[in-house]
Amino acid sequence: MSWSTADIPDLTGRRAVVTGATSGLGYQTALELLRHGAEVIVAARNPEKSARAATELAAASNRDKPQVLDLDLSDLSSVEKAAAQLTEPLDLLVNNAGVMATPYRQTADGFELQVGTNHLGHFAFTAHLLPLLLRSEHPRVVTVSSFVHKSARGISQADFKAENGYRKWDAYGKSKLANLLFMLELDRRARSAGSNLLSVGAHPGYAQTHLQTTGPQLGGVNLEARVLSLGTKLLGQSAADGAMPSLYAATWPDVRPGTYVGPRFLEQRGAPKVVQPSKIAQDPELAKRLWDWSVEATGVNLF
């Protein structure tokens, strides 16, 4: 399959929310959605960065400045407040924002930061926005994972608070595994309910974003940050190329329910193609358990 942004269909009249759209993959996703006619809402936690990104997106797309939504995925009260500010039907939600390999931190609600932000925050945000999505004729939720999910051998409720110890890359892998388990379970539940909601996933391969260095910098490990920065510059594809799988998953009319999209070449770089999640990510029983744990943790549910 050869696919580029030139293949994105006309999105005029469609309304999208992109989390983490102030930089990197989220910014590039929002930019192409705008360029192809969609109305885009930039959802991020730093108001100054959001305002700056909105101005830059408007200039780069030659469109009106997108709406900004203050959203801190590491705080469930912020998630609920942000969702409550939206009242019009939504056609597309791109769950893109995330943190990577951070030192041990807790969310505002006491969860381990990576699982709490990458999975629980997006689980709750999707749940709060579900009524608006279901008012659309063809609603779609794209959940952005990572090839690092394949390093995770499973996930348990104890991982929500890192009760059995903390290793930053292990926690990141589990949070990305949770993204895929959630995406596939959302697809199963939507179809079981007879809903027209399309739940799909994507991952960027090895892309040049700030995520690789933010974690080490937070932990004061500057040498690791420099090494990762150099490796990313040498081996990673651009953020624009890394956003291609998300854009394909978000816009291509023929994407099937539960599809997972990644880069063509070794799932690291290149044009988007349909790829396979790990075996454990496709475990429906684990997905059901994760769903129940997530409902208990966030106090919200979907379907």
Q: For 171-216, how does the pLDDT look when each residue is reduced to its tens digit (9 = 90+)?
A: 999 999 999 999 999 999 999 999 999 999 999 999 877 664 455 5
Task: Report pLDDT digits (tens) over 70-83.
Answer: 999 999 999 999 99
Tokens at 271, concatenated: 């044009």
CB 33, CB 249: distance < 8 Å: no
Give the tokens for residue 166.
């903390």
In this predicted structure, what is the pLDDT of residue 207?
Answer: 85
Question: Which residues touch 29 (CB under 8 Å, ≥6 apart)?
Answer: 18, 21, 94, 96, 243, 246, 247, 250
- Cα gap 134→180, rounded to integer Å: 21
- How far apart are the C-alpha atoms of 100 and 243, rounded to whole Å? 17
| C-beta separation of 162 from 112 below 8 A | yes
- pLDDT tens string 122-146: 999 999 999 999 999 999 999 999 9
**Span 238-252, pLDDT tens digits:** 999 999 999 999 999
Percent of the chain whose predicted confidence (pLDDT) is above 70? 91
pLDDT of 67 over the 70 cut: yes
**Catalytic site positions:** 145, 172, 176
Q: Look up residue 57 and give its two tokens.
A: 């997106």
pTM for the complete prediction?
Answer: 0.92
Quick one: pLDDT at residue 1?
61
What average pLDDT does range 155-166 have in this prediction?
97
Q: Which domains does the chain have, with CATH numbers?
A: 11-204+240-297 (3.40.50.720)
Measured CA to CA, the distance from residue 278 to residue 39 in angstroms comes to 34
Mean pLDDT across the chain, nearest whole number? 93
Query: How much of the chain, in percent, has pLDDT values that exceed 90?
Result: 89
At a CB cut-off of 8 Å and minimum separation 6, what does 276 contact? Answer: 260
Confidence of residue 222 (pLDDT cuts 50, 70, 90): low
User: For residue 209, what pLDDT is reported?
Assistant: 72
State how far the Cα of 183 lies from the Cα of 257, in Å rounded to an integer.
10
Segment 2-6 mean pLDDT: 92
